Protein backbone atom coordinates (compact mmCIF):
# COMPACT_ATOMS: atom_id res chain seq x y z
CA UNK A 1 0.00 0.00 0.00
CA UNK A 2 2.08 2.73 -1.45
CA UNK A 3 2.07 6.19 -2.93
CA UNK A 4 5.19 6.03 -5.09
CA UNK A 5 5.05 6.57 -8.83
CA UNK A 6 4.29 3.44 -10.82
CA UNK A 7 7.18 2.13 -12.85
CA UNK A 8 9.87 2.85 -10.27
CA UNK A 9 11.56 -0.39 -9.26
CA UNK A 10 11.61 -0.98 -5.49
CA UNK A 11 14.95 -1.56 -3.82
CA UNK A 12 13.80 -4.28 -1.43
CA UNK A 13 14.12 -7.98 -0.93
CA UNK A 14 11.34 -10.23 -2.30
CA UNK A 15 9.89 -10.72 1.17
CA UNK A 16 9.77 -8.07 3.87
CA UNK A 17 8.31 -8.83 7.27
CA UNK A 18 7.59 -5.91 9.58
CA UNK A 19 7.32 -7.42 13.03
CA UNK A 20 6.57 -4.04 14.60
CA UNK A 21 3.23 -3.42 12.88
CA UNK A 22 2.39 -7.00 11.98
CA UNK A 23 2.16 -6.59 8.19
CA UNK A 24 3.68 -9.13 5.84
CA UNK A 25 4.83 -7.64 2.53
CA UNK A 26 5.88 -9.70 -0.49
CA UNK A 27 7.36 -8.41 -3.72
CA UNK A 28 7.95 -10.35 -6.95
CA UNK A 29 11.44 -11.78 -7.28
CA UNK A 30 12.97 -10.02 -10.27
CA UNK A 31 10.13 -7.50 -10.50
CA UNK A 32 7.08 -7.43 -12.82
CA UNK A 33 7.56 -8.20 -16.50
CA UNK A 34 5.71 -5.11 -17.75
CA UNK A 35 6.99 -1.53 -17.83
CA UNK A 36 5.04 0.87 -15.65
CA UNK A 37 3.81 -1.86 -13.30
CA UNK A 38 4.68 -2.39 -9.64
CA UNK A 39 3.07 -4.91 -7.38
CA UNK A 40 3.23 -6.33 -3.88
CA UNK A 41 1.30 -8.70 -1.67
CA UNK A 42 0.06 -7.60 1.76
CA UNK A 43 -1.28 -9.58 4.71
CA UNK A 44 -2.38 -8.32 8.11
CA UNK A 45 -0.46 -11.02 9.96
CA UNK A 46 -1.24 -9.61 13.41
CA UNK A 47 -4.96 -9.03 12.66
CA UNK A 48 -4.49 -5.44 13.75
CA UNK A 49 -6.94 -4.12 11.18
CA UNK A 50 -6.47 -1.55 8.44
CA UNK A 51 -7.38 2.12 8.80
CA UNK A 52 -5.52 4.46 6.49
CA UNK A 53 -5.92 7.71 4.61
CA UNK A 54 -5.12 7.54 0.91
CA UNK A 55 -3.94 10.53 -1.09
CA UNK A 56 -4.33 11.11 -4.83
CA UNK A 57 -1.23 10.03 -6.71
CA UNK A 58 0.01 9.93 -10.32
CA UNK A 59 -0.77 6.24 -10.72
CA UNK A 60 -3.78 3.97 -11.07
CA UNK A 61 -4.02 1.54 -8.14
CA UNK A 62 -5.60 -1.91 -8.45
CA UNK A 63 -6.26 -3.83 -5.24
CA UNK A 64 -7.08 -7.53 -5.66
CA UNK A 65 -8.59 -8.89 -2.46
CA UNK A 66 -7.57 -12.42 -1.49
CA UNK A 67 -9.54 -13.00 1.68
CA UNK A 68 -13.25 -13.23 2.35
CA UNK A 69 -13.47 -9.89 4.16
CA UNK A 70 -14.10 -6.75 2.07
CA UNK A 71 -12.75 -3.29 2.80
CA UNK A 72 -14.84 -0.18 3.34
CA UNK A 73 -13.89 2.91 1.36
CA UNK A 74 -15.01 6.35 2.53
CA UNK A 75 -14.67 9.14 -0.01
CA UNK A 76 -16.46 12.25 -1.23
CA UNK A 77 -19.07 10.17 -3.06
CA UNK A 78 -19.96 8.19 0.07
CA UNK A 79 -19.19 4.75 1.52
CA UNK A 80 -18.59 1.60 -0.52
CA UNK A 81 -17.73 -1.94 0.52
CA UNK A 82 -15.55 -3.82 -1.97
CA UNK A 83 -13.34 -6.86 -2.04
CA UNK A 84 -11.26 -5.66 -5.02
CA UNK A 85 -11.09 -2.16 -6.44
CA UNK A 86 -9.51 0.26 -8.89
CA UNK A 87 -8.57 3.79 -7.84
CA UNK A 88 -8.25 5.95 -10.95
CA UNK A 89 -5.94 8.92 -11.29
CA UNK A 90 -6.82 11.69 -8.84
CA UNK A 91 -9.89 10.14 -7.17
CA UNK A 92 -9.65 12.59 -4.27
CA UNK A 93 -8.86 11.75 -0.64
CA UNK A 94 -10.24 8.52 0.75
CA UNK A 95 -10.12 6.43 3.91
CA UNK A 96 -9.90 2.64 3.72
CA UNK A 97 -10.80 0.36 6.62
CA UNK A 98 -10.81 -3.41 6.88
CA UNK A 99 -10.20 -6.44 9.04
CA UNK A 100 -7.92 -9.40 8.25
CA UNK A 101 -6.83 -7.73 5.01
CA UNK A 102 -4.94 -9.86 2.49
CA UNK A 103 -4.45 -8.55 -1.03
CA UNK A 104 -2.24 -7.96 -4.04
CA UNK A 105 -1.79 -4.28 -4.86
CA UNK A 106 -0.76 -3.25 -8.37
CA UNK A 107 0.36 0.29 -9.19
CA UNK A 108 0.04 1.22 -12.86
CA UNK A 109 1.52 4.17 -14.69
CA UNK A 110 -1.11 5.89 -16.88
CA UNK A 111 0.47 4.33 -19.97
CA UNK A 112 0.23 0.82 -18.49
CA UNK A 113 -3.30 1.45 -17.19
CA UNK A 114 -4.47 2.50 -20.66
CA UNK A 115 -3.60 -0.90 -22.06
CA UNK A 116 -4.63 -3.02 -19.06
CA UNK A 117 -7.88 -1.72 -17.57
CA UNK A 118 -10.10 -2.45 -20.55
CA UNK A 119 -12.13 0.78 -20.35
CA UNK A 120 -11.36 4.34 -21.50
CA UNK A 121 -9.80 6.27 -18.59
CA UNK A 122 -12.43 8.99 -18.90
CA UNK A 123 -15.12 6.45 -17.98
CA UNK A 124 -13.54 6.03 -14.54
CA UNK A 125 -13.97 9.78 -14.01
CA UNK A 126 -11.69 10.09 -11.00
CA UNK A 127 -13.51 7.39 -9.08
CA UNK A 128 -13.07 4.25 -7.01
CA UNK A 129 -14.54 1.31 -8.93
CA UNK A 130 -15.14 -2.34 -8.08
CA UNK A 131 -12.66 -4.45 -10.04
CA UNK A 132 -15.33 -6.97 -11.04
CA UNK A 133 -17.21 -4.12 -12.72
CA UNK A 134 -14.22 -3.73 -15.06
CA UNK A 135 -12.90 -7.26 -15.52
CA UNK A 136 -16.02 -9.34 -14.85
CA UNK A 137 -15.45 -13.07 -15.19
CA UNK A 138 -11.73 -12.57 -15.78
CA UNK A 139 -11.43 -11.06 -12.29
CA UNK A 140 -13.37 -13.95 -10.76
CA UNK A 141 -11.18 -16.58 -12.44
CA UNK A 142 -8.02 -14.78 -11.38
CA UNK A 143 -9.36 -14.68 -7.82
CA UNK A 144 -9.97 -18.44 -7.88
CA UNK A 145 -6.44 -19.09 -9.12
CA UNK A 146 -4.98 -16.83 -6.43
CA UNK A 147 -7.00 -18.62 -3.76
CA UNK A 148 -5.49 -21.95 -4.86
CA UNK A 149 -1.92 -20.61 -4.87
CA UNK A 150 0.21 -21.59 -1.88
CA UNK A 151 2.97 -18.94 -1.81
CA UNK A 152 3.19 -15.21 -2.40
CA UNK A 153 5.54 -15.74 -5.33
CA UNK A 154 2.98 -18.02 -6.99
CA UNK A 155 0.31 -15.37 -6.51
CA UNK A 156 2.46 -12.54 -7.83
CA UNK A 157 3.48 -14.65 -10.83
CA UNK A 158 -0.19 -15.36 -11.58
CA UNK A 159 -1.03 -11.65 -11.47
CA UNK A 160 1.99 -10.79 -13.62
CA UNK A 161 0.98 -13.36 -16.24
CA UNK A 162 -2.63 -12.17 -16.19
CA UNK A 163 -1.54 -8.59 -16.81
CA UNK A 164 0.89 -9.64 -19.55
CA UNK A 165 -1.91 -11.39 -21.43
CA UNK A 166 -4.16 -8.34 -21.10
CA UNK A 167 -1.35 -6.12 -22.37
CA UNK A 168 -1.06 -8.20 -25.54
CA UNK A 169 -4.71 -7.49 -26.39
CA UNK A 170 -4.94 -3.95 -25.03
CA UNK A 171 -4.62 -0.64 -26.87
CA UNK A 172 -1.39 1.30 -27.05
CA UNK A 173 -1.16 4.91 -25.94
CA UNK A 174 -0.16 7.31 -28.71
CA UNK A 175 3.54 8.25 -28.58
CA UNK A 176 2.67 11.95 -28.30
CA UNK A 177 0.44 11.45 -25.25
CA UNK A 178 2.99 9.14 -23.63
CA UNK A 179 5.73 11.72 -24.24
CA UNK A 180 3.55 14.52 -22.85
CA UNK A 181 2.92 12.54 -19.64
CA UNK A 182 6.63 11.72 -19.34
CA UNK A 183 7.45 15.42 -19.71
CA UNK A 184 4.98 16.38 -16.97
CA UNK A 185 6.53 13.80 -14.63
CA UNK A 186 10.10 14.83 -15.50
CA UNK A 187 9.26 18.50 -14.91
CA UNK A 188 7.38 17.64 -11.69
CA UNK A 189 4.27 19.31 -13.04
CA UNK A 190 6.03 22.60 -13.68
CA UNK A 191 5.20 23.12 -17.37
CA UNK A 192 2.67 25.21 -19.28
CA UNK A 193 0.12 23.46 -21.46
CA UNK A 194 1.16 25.58 -24.44
CA UNK A 195 4.78 24.49 -24.08
CA UNK A 196 3.65 20.88 -23.67
CA UNK A 197 1.62 21.05 -26.89
CA UNK A 198 4.53 22.61 -28.77
CA UNK A 199 6.86 19.85 -27.58
CA UNK A 200 4.74 17.19 -29.32
CA UNK A 201 3.84 19.29 -32.36
CA UNK A 202 0.12 19.53 -31.56
CA UNK A 203 -2.26 22.41 -31.00
CA UNK A 204 -3.43 23.01 -27.46
CA UNK A 205 -6.93 21.82 -28.44
CA UNK A 206 -5.69 18.55 -29.92
CA UNK A 207 -3.39 17.86 -26.96
CA UNK A 208 -6.24 18.57 -24.54
CA UNK A 209 -8.56 16.18 -26.36
CA UNK A 210 -6.17 13.27 -26.96
CA UNK A 211 -4.45 13.54 -23.59
CA UNK A 212 -7.74 13.63 -21.67
CA UNK A 213 -9.09 10.62 -23.60
CA UNK A 214 -6.02 8.45 -22.98
CA UNK A 215 -4.90 9.63 -19.52
CA UNK A 216 -8.26 10.44 -17.98
CA UNK A 217 -7.20 13.92 -16.86
CA UNK A 218 -6.63 17.18 -18.70
CA UNK A 219 -2.96 18.18 -19.10
CA UNK A 220 -3.49 20.97 -16.57
CA UNK A 221 -5.03 18.62 -14.01
CA UNK A 222 -2.28 16.06 -14.60
CA UNK A 223 0.39 18.68 -13.93
CA UNK A 224 -1.49 19.74 -10.78
CA UNK A 225 -1.55 16.13 -9.57
CA UNK A 226 2.16 15.50 -10.18
CA UNK A 227 3.09 18.80 -8.51
CA UNK A 228 0.88 17.94 -5.53
CA UNK A 229 2.47 14.48 -5.21
CA UNK A 230 5.93 16.03 -4.75
CA UNK A 231 4.57 18.69 -2.40
CA UNK A 232 2.79 16.10 -0.25
CA UNK A 233 5.98 14.08 0.15
CA UNK A 234 7.94 17.17 1.14
CA UNK A 235 5.32 18.26 3.66
CA UNK A 236 5.25 14.82 5.25
CA UNK A 237 9.04 14.85 5.38
CA UNK A 238 8.82 17.87 7.67
CA UNK A 239 9.51 20.75 5.28
CA UNK A 240 7.67 24.01 5.89
CA UNK A 241 4.74 25.02 3.69
CA UNK A 242 6.62 28.11 2.54
CA UNK A 243 9.67 26.19 1.38
CA UNK A 244 7.51 23.50 -0.27
CA UNK A 245 5.52 26.11 -2.17
CA UNK A 246 8.71 27.63 -3.53
CA UNK A 247 10.47 24.34 -4.32
CA UNK A 248 7.45 22.73 -6.00
CA UNK A 249 6.57 25.61 -8.29
CA UNK A 250 3.50 27.10 -6.62
CA UNK A 251 2.86 30.79 -7.15
CA UNK A 252 2.78 31.33 -3.38
CA UNK A 253 1.81 29.62 -0.14
CA UNK A 254 -1.95 30.28 -0.59
CA UNK A 255 -1.71 28.52 -3.99
CA UNK A 256 -0.22 25.46 -2.25
CA UNK A 257 -2.94 25.66 0.39
CA UNK A 258 -5.71 25.65 -2.25
CA UNK A 259 -4.27 22.67 -4.13
CA UNK A 260 -3.68 20.61 -0.99
CA UNK A 261 -7.20 21.37 0.22
CA UNK A 262 -8.65 20.36 -3.16
CA UNK A 263 -6.69 17.12 -3.50
CA UNK A 264 -6.11 16.00 0.09
CA UNK A 265 -9.18 17.48 1.76
CA UNK A 266 -7.10 19.15 4.47
CA UNK A 267 -4.61 21.97 5.03
CA UNK A 268 -0.85 21.55 4.41
CA UNK A 269 -0.28 21.52 8.17
CA UNK A 270 -2.82 18.75 8.71
CA UNK A 271 -1.37 16.78 5.80
CA UNK A 272 2.09 16.96 7.36
CA UNK A 273 0.72 15.35 10.53
CA UNK A 274 -1.49 12.75 8.87
CA UNK A 275 -0.63 9.07 8.72
CA UNK A 276 -0.81 8.03 5.05
CA UNK A 277 0.09 5.12 2.83
CA UNK A 278 3.60 6.00 1.77
CA UNK A 279 6.52 3.62 2.40
Q: Which domain holds residue 131?
A: 15-169
Q: How confident is the model at residue 225 (pLDDT cuts 50, 70, 90)?
A: very high
Tell me what pLDDT residue 265 has: 87
Averaged over 102-123, what is the pLDDT?
90
Q: Mapped to the 3 state alphabet, what secondary structure does the chain carry?
A: CCCCCCCCCCCCCCEEEECCCCEEEECCCCCCCCCCEEEEEEEECCCCCEEEEECCCCCEEEEEECCCCCEEEEECCEEEEECCEEECCCCCCEEEEECCCEEEEEEECHHHHHHHCCCCHHHHCCCEEEHHHHHHHHHHHHHHHHHHCCCHHHHHHHHHHHHHHHHHHCCCCCHHHHHHHHHHHHCCCCCCHHHHHHHCCCCHHHHHHHHHHHHCCCHHHHHHHHHHHHHHHHHHCCCCHHHHHHHCCCCCHHHHHHHHHHHHCCCHHHHHHCCCCCC
In this structure, the answer to whether residues 45 and 67 fall within a common structural domain is yes
How many domains does the structure of the chain reveal?
2
Tell me what pLDDT residue 275 has: 44
Find the CATH number of the domain harbouring 192: 1.10.10.60
Question: Residue 126: is its pLDDT beyond 90?
Answer: no
End position of a domain, from candidates 169, 186, 215: 169
Query: Mean pLDDT in the chain?
Result: 86
In this structure, the answer to whether residues 84 and 153 fall within a common structural domain is yes
Percent of all residues in the chain with a pLDDT value above 90, rounded to a whole number: 56
Report yes or no on 278 lying in a domain. Answer: no
The pTM (predicted TM-score) of the whole model is 0.85
Report yes or no on 10 lying in a domain. Answer: no
Higher local confidence (pLDDT), 252 or 129: 252
Find the CATH number of the domain harbouring 123: 2.60.120.10
pLDDT in tens, 226-247: 999 999 999 999 999 999 999 9
Amino acid sequence: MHSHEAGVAPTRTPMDRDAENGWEVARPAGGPSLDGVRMAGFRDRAAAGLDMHVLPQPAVVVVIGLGDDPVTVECASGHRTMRSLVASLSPGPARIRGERVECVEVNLSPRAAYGLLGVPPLELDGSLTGLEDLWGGHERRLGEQLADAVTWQERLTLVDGFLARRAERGPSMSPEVAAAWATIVARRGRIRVGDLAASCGWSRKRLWSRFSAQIGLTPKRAAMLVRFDHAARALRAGESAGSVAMACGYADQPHLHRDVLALAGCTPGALADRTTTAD
